[in-house]
Amino acid sequence: MEPTPAVRRAGARDIEQLAQVHVRCWQETYRGMLSDAFLAAVDPADRLRLWRHLLDRPEPAEVWVACDGGTVVGFAGVRLLPAPGSPEGHPPPSSGDLELWGLYLLASHQGLGLGRRLLTAALGTKAASLWVAAGNGRAIGFYRRFGFEPDGARDILPDWEDLPEIRMVRPVQRFP
* pLDDT for position 176: 45
* pLDDT for position 85: 47
CA 86 to chain centre: 16
Domain layout of the chain by residue ranges: 6-170
Crossing angle for the helix pair 15-29 and 44-55, to the nearest 10 degrees: 130
What are the CA-CA distances from residue 93 to residues 79, 87, 142 (Å)? 14, 12, 20
Which residues of the chain, if any, have pLDDT below 70? 1-3, 83-89, 174-176
Q: How far apart are alpha carbons 58 and 56 in whole angstroms?
A: 7
Q: Are the beta carbons of 20 and 64 closer than 8 angstroms?
A: no
| Predicted structure pTM score | 0.91
For 46-69, b/e burial (b = at least 16 CB within 10 A) is ebbeebeebbeeeeeebbbbbbbe
Torsion over CA: 150, 154, 157, 161 (sign): positive
* pLDDT for position 91: 77
* pLDDT for position 4: 80
* Domain 6-170 -> CATH class: alpha beta
Over the stretch 78-126, which tens digit does the pLDDT of each residue have?
999 875 545 566 777 888 889 999 999 999 999 999 999 999 999 999 9
**What does residue 4 show for φ and ψ, rounded to 5 degrees?**
-75, 135
